[in-house]
Amino acid sequence: MLRGELAVLQAPLLDGPSLDPFALFDDGLGPAEVGISRRHVVQALMVSPVIVVFDEGRSLVKQRNEIEVRAVELLSDLPDYQLLTTIPGIGPINALTILAEAGDLRRFRHHRQFLKFCGMDLATVQSGMFRGQSKISKYGNARLRRTFWMAGQVAVLKRTNSFRDKFERYIARDRHNAHLRRKAYTAIAAKMARTVHAVVKHGEPYRPFFEGASPGGRTLV
């Protein structure tokens, strides 16, 4: 059906009197004179961009699958890769990105150093007596931040794990608050970075650690 509609779109270019399908609405030509209906033209114009998007999507999925297969082939015997893929949300491509961008995570003696390297450390804008809210600095490696952000979004969708538990507690006050959910995803990304550093540094697979609420009732970042 989609090919038929594309053929309709191309019809005026081949043997119709108008090169612009929209001209059917203002050049006085009726459907019988052109051989196609206005409805078909509108449908074809609407469908053709969608087909382009689908084709691009298929191409990207194919490339992603090829990279994933290649990552498994190259890294499956690497101990750090095996440790990283035990973490919810960390698959072959995310593990590959972390190892490529961060190198040996053992060189960071504390997870705060690794968070700073990723640009996920907290920074506060201060001027004179004014002190702003603390936000992540974003001065570090943007690829790692994006990787941990995406991994966190995957992790919170999986069955019960410490990431989902933290996310659910974070948004419990107002589940439909977009700003609160964005802050929750940021907190999950930071937790993902800490977890990645911990499993590699200690050489132990991921084990769920369910955090409790802080004494003040807030959920820790």
Give 153-205 pLDDT, tens digit per residue: 999 998 888 999 999 999 999 999 999 999 999 999 999 999 999 999 999 99
Q: Which residues contact 202 (CB under 8 A, 6 or more apart)?
A: none
- How far apart are alpha carbons 4 and 103 in whole angstroms? 52
**How confident is the model over 32-55, as a mean pLDDT?**
62
The CB density around residue 139, as the number of other CB atoms within 10 Å, is 13
Against a cut of 0.95, is the pTM above it?
Answer: no
CA distances from 31 to 7, 22, 35, 38 (A): 16, 13, 6, 7
- How far apart are alpha carbons 202 and 83 in whole angstroms? 10
208: confidence class by pLDDT, cuts 50, 70, 90: confident
Two structure tokens written together for 24: 């059917």
pLDDT for 24 beyond 70: no
Domain regions of the chain by residue span: 2-57, 77-202
Give 85-116 pLDDT, tens digit per residue: 999 999 999 999 999 999 999 999 999 999 99
Give me the count of residues in the chain. 221
Give 139-153 pLDDT, tens digit per residue: 889 999 999 999 999
Q: What is the dihedral of CA 151, 153, 159, 163, to 10 degrees?
A: 80
- How far apart are alpha carbons 189 and 81 in whole angstroms? 19
Q: Which residues contact 7 (CB under 8 A, 6 or more apart)?
A: none
16: confidence class by pLDDT, cuts 50, 70, 90: very low
Q: What is the dihedral of CA 114, 118, 120, 125, to 10 degrees?
A: 110
Q: What is the DSSP string of 14-72?
A: HHSS-SSGGGGGTSS--HHHHTS-HHHHHHHHHHHHHHHHHHHHHHHHHHHHHHHHHHH
